[in-house]
Amino acid sequence: MRYRYLVVALCVALCLVATPKHTAALSASITVVDDHGTTITLAHTPHRLISLAPNVTEILFALGLGPRVVGVSSYSDYPPAAAKLPSVISYTSLNIEKTLALKPDLLVAAAIVPQSIVDRLRALHLPVLVTDPHDLAGILADIRLVGRATGAANAAAALVARLQARIRHVDALVRRAHSHPRVFYEIDPTLYTAGHGSFVDALITQAGGTNIAGRFSNPYPQISREALLAANPEVYVLGDTAAGVTPASVAKRPGFAQISAVRHHRVYPFNDDLASRPGPRIVDGLEALARLLHPELFK
């Protein structure tokens, strides 16, 4: 009889140990509303994640969710570990067989993913969360959104707090600036650039510059050589560095020697991913641009 009581007591104790609070949390359902107003309900915390855009990949890894990511999009090259994962989607084409074989319990998309692909995945009863931020605050909100959807809300809150502190530091420095130099951001050598409504335009402004293409309502306008020369930018940022464009090659273009940025050696190579991908590294881009525009504030 005494042995039986001991066995019962041991079973109760094991049950209590086997069901800690965090295990109960993992089994709880999760409901979120994505940036396009769609409600996504998950029966439990997702453990097999697929990223459908490079910026989403960066968010997931920044939240410490790399071990749960089973598939990514093309150009998901940061962090390096992401590049080793299976790619299931390009910007316009989805490999549905590969996607299904990975057995995802949550797919996270961005606005660059065609709605037809999102619809196709949802028709197969796969949960798809769409992120679509329009400014820096929206990016931070989406980090929190992805954190809630993946059971990483605490990690997301901590990451956002760190990013906000860095943004406030840049803002405080830029308030001391005595000028706001004219900036041209080159997307490619045919003079496509970043206009109003782009992340690049917002970063240039917040970094203490004046985007000469900010007057264009088109987020990605192309300007003429004559218009560029007339605007005479004081800082020239090469977002097409990865394509082999250099300060020296810019200086050799007809008429460019007269541009203020060229004459004063303020043509700078730049990693476009830091300004165009709406993820955690957007703050790296803000800091980098602020240093280029106002080096005197960072001495």
Q: What's the CATH number where 277 sits?
A: 3.40.50.1980
How confident is the model over 121-133, as a mean pLDDT?
98
Please tell me the distance from the alpha carbon of residue 234 to that of residue 143, in angstroms, as a whole number: 34
Cβ 211 vs Cβ 194: under 8 Å: yes
Residue 16 has pLDDT above 60, yes or no: no
| Per-residue pLDDT, 146 | 98
Domain end, chosen from 163, 190, 216, is at 163
Residue 106 maps to a domain: yes
Residue 15 has pLDDT above 50, yes or no: no
Please tell me the distance from the alpha carbon of residue 278 to that of residue 128, in angstroms, as a whole number: 18
Q: Report the side by side order of strands in the sheet with 210-211.
A: 210-211, 182-186, 235-238, 267-269
Bridge partners of residue 41, in order along the sequence: 31
Instruction: Give the model's confidence band at 20: pLDDT under 50 very low, under 70 low, under 90 confident, else very high.
Output: very low
Q: What is the token pair recorded at 198?
A: 């782009």
Number of domains in the chain: 2
User: Regarding predicted confidence, which is higher, 19 or 101?
Assistant: 101
Cβ 183 vs Cβ 233: under 8 Å: yes
Measure CA 209 to chain center: 22
Residue-wise pLDDT tens digits, 29-64: 999 999 999 999 999 999 999 999 999 999 999 999
| Per-residue pLDDT, 299 | 84
| Per-residue pLDDT, 27 | 55
Residue 153 has pLDDT above 90, yes or no: yes
Domain end, chosen from 163, 188, 220, is at 163
In this structure, are 100 and 135 located in the same domain? yes
Residue-wise pLDDT tens digits, 218-277: 999 999 999 999 999 999 999 999 999 999 999 999 999 999 999 999 999 999 999 999
In this structure, are 226 and 159 located in the same domain? no
| Per-residue pLDDT, 28 | 85
Cβ 202 vs Cβ 287: under 8 Å: no
In this structure, are 189 and 132 located in the same domain? no
In this structure, are 232 and 129 located in the same domain? no
208 is in which domain, residue-wise? Answer: 178-298
Domain end, chosen from 163, 191, 208, is at 163
Q: What is the token pair recorded at 140?
A: 């931070």
In this structure, are 271 and 219 located in the same domain? yes
Cα 195-186-55 angle, rounded to 5 deg: 75
CA dist 267 → 28, 183, 236, 240, 283 (Å): 53, 10, 5, 12, 21
Residue 16 maps to a domain: no
In this structure, are 54 and 106 located in the same domain? yes
Residue 76 maps to a domain: yes
How confident is the model over 186-208, as a mean pLDDT?
97
Cβ 82 vs Cβ 66: under 8 Å: yes
In this structure, are 157 and 190 located in the same domain? no
